[in-house]
Amino acid sequence: MPWLPSNGFSDCPFGALIERLVSDQKIAVIGGTGDLGFGLVLRWARAGVPVVIGSRDAKKAQDAAERANGLLDSGMLPGIETSAIEGMENAKAAAEAGVIVLAVPFPGQAAILKSIRDALRNAAEGPGNNPIFVDATVPLAATVGGKPTRLLGVWQGSAAEAAREMVPAKIPVLGAFHNLSAEALQDLDAALDCDILVCGDDEAAKQKLFPLIQLIEGLRPVDAGPLEMARITEAVTALLISVNRRHKVTHSGVRITGI
Determine the Cα–Cα distance for residues 115 and 160; give it in Å rounded to an integer: 17
CA quadruple 140, 89, 47, 25: dihedral sign: positive
Minimum Å distance from CB 3 to a copy of itself?
A: 30
Which residues, 6+ apart, have CB-to-CB distance to 169 below 8 Å?
Answer: none
Which residue, 114 or 255, has its beta carbon nearer to a copy of itself? 255
Which is nearer to a copy of itself, 49 or 142 (by Cβ)? Answer: 142
Q: Which of 60, 34, 31 is nearest to 186 (CA)?
A: 34
Tell me which of 27, 219, 224, 227 binds a copy of itself, using CB under 8 A.
224
240 exposure class (CB count in 10 Å sphere: 0-12, 13-18, 19+) = buried
Say if CB 202 and CB 193 are below 8 A apart.
no
Spatial separation of the C-alpha atoms in residues 250 and 35, rounded to whole Å: 14
Site for a copy of itself in 143-182 (CB under 8 A): 149-150, 181
Shortest Cβ 72–a copy of itself spacing (Å): 24
Chain centroid offset of residue 18 CA: 24
Total residues at interface with a copy of itself (CB under 8 A): 37
Smallest distance from a copy of itself to CB 156, Å: 15
Work out which of 197, 201, 205, 220 binds a copy of itself, going by CB under 8 A. Answer: 197
Q: How far is the C-alpha of 183 from the C-alpha of 88, rounded, in Å?
A: 23
Q: In what order do the strands lie in the sheet with 132-135?
A: 86-89, 51-55, 27-30, 99-102, 132-135, 173-175, 194-200, 219-225
State the minimum distance, in angstroms, from the CB of residue 106 to a copy of itself.
Answer: 17
Q: Which residue in the set 120, 194, 205, 216 belongs to the binding site for a copy of itself (CB under 8 A)?
A: 194
CA distances from 133 to 75, 105, 174, 175, 193 (A): 29, 16, 6, 9, 24
- In the region spanning residues 229 to 258, those forming contacts with a copy of itself, defined by CB under 8 A, are 229, 231-233, 235-236, 238-240, 242-243, 245-247, 249, 251-258
User: Minimal CA–CA distance to 23: which of 42, 3, 43, 40?
Assistant: 3
Is residue 33 a contact point for a copy of itself (CB under 8 A)?
A: no
- Indicate whether 92 belongs to the interface with a copy of itself (CB under 8 A): no
Does residue 141 interact with a copy of itself by CB under 8 A?
A: no
Cβ distance to a copy of itself smaller for residue 165 or 250: 250
Q: Which is nearer to a copy of itself, 2 or 148 (CB)?
A: 148
Residues that bind a copy of itself (CB under 8 A): 149-150, 181, 184, 193-194, 197, 222-226, 228-229, 231-233, 235-236, 238-240, 242-243, 245-247, 249, 251-259
